[in-house]
Amino acid sequence: MRYIKLGRTGLDVSPVAIGAMTYGEPDRGHPVWSLDEESSRPLVKQALEAGINFFDTANMYSYGSSEEILGRALAEYANRDDVVITTKVRHPMRPGSPNSSGLSRKAIMTEIDNSLRRLGTDYVDVYMIHRLDPATPLEETLEALNDVVKAGKARYLGASSMHAWQFAKALHLQERHGWARFVTMQDHYNLLAREEEREMLPLCADEGVATMVWSPLARGRLARPFDQAATGTRAATYGAYADLLYRANADSDRQIIGALGTIAEQRGVSRAQIALAWLRRNPVVAAPLVGARTAQQIDDAVASLDIDLTDEEARRLEAPYTPRHDFQGVSDEREMERIKASIPGYANL
């Protein structure tokens, strides 16, 4: 495994991260896709044996069960100081408790301690805000996060999915007040969703912020032929939500996925390996978050690190792309919420 620095920090991470949203007791929030502890642990062990040292979770994933499973597996299979753990805060954790969500000082100070307890560790390497909280002044959130770092409960800070101007404002406030800065941005980026190339990725490159890419395979669309339906309960659950993100660009997506399949066939590798190798061409991308449910998915992620696409191959993958809504720019928020609410186990995403 070849390790890289996370942005402008001195932290060494594998250029592939395991996204642990997949792991969690099914009766703790996400029954249709969560792998229980018995099924999750071998995958964590396999990732470690492959040299992956980067693991991402969140307090909301299966209402803390993901953190618990990941924490116990890492404690058994790894030395704590040899792995990099990130977790996130923002979404509701206790139904009926108004201060169990959001980014108030109270919520942050409570939830970091809860996350550390579930993970079984004294600190996390990167503590991230899962989304912005419009009901809390940004200064309150950023000062509280700074205090988390100063208390030794987190080594670094990160953010996820927001508009570039919002992230720029947060970075400015952190610099102005001398607070710990965000060193990572976890955003939505793949061959079928490249709108972050307009503003967010250039901003991150200029500020030395590394990106951790969620949905690097576009909910699995980049891992199979365009007309091949997803199978399995997790895929079916994701299907309606994925349609909201990608439905308006079928003609373009068909061409991109077709080119992806051709290049994969020519190289004798999987489609997933080519899609992940394309992400690595962008120097601001530190690591895709791979929500591995199978050993093969981890093997594909690691194998992608040995693939260097040519400029001509990249051009073939990129040329059919057409502008589209990004995650933050979905035109009908009510429709998004309606679709989420209709999907079992997706109510809290």
Residues noted as catalytic: 61
Calculate the dihedral angle through the C-alpha atoms of 58, 62, 65, 70, rounding to the nearest 10 degrees.
-50
Distance CA 285, CA 2 (A): 15
Residue type, 219: R
Residue 57 near residue 20, CB atoms below 8 Å: yes
Distance CA 202, CA 241 (A): 28
Q: In 3-state terms, what secondary structure has residue 303?
A: helix
Residue 257's CB: how many other CB atoms inside 10 A? 25
Residue 2 near residue 15, CB atoms below 8 Å: yes
Please report, in angstroms and rounded to a whole number, the separation of the first and last CA atoms in the chain.
32
CA 326, distance to chain mean position in Å, is: 15
Radius of gyration of the chain (CA): 19
Query: Percentage helix, strand, coil, to 5, in the chain?
Result: 50, 15, 35
Residue 239 near residue 230, CB atoms below 8 Å: yes
93 is written with which tokens? 């954790």
Question: How far are the Cα atoms of 44, 131, 308, 325 from residue 138, in angstroms, in the given order?
Answer: 35, 12, 41, 26
Which CB contacts under 8 angstroms, 24+ apart, belong to 107-113?
A: 108/141, 108/144, 108/145, 108/148, 109/144, 109/147, 109/148, 111/59, 112/148, 112/153, 112/154, 113/153
Question: How far are the Cα atoms of 115, 197, 212 from residue 282, in angstroms, in the given order?
Answer: 32, 10, 12
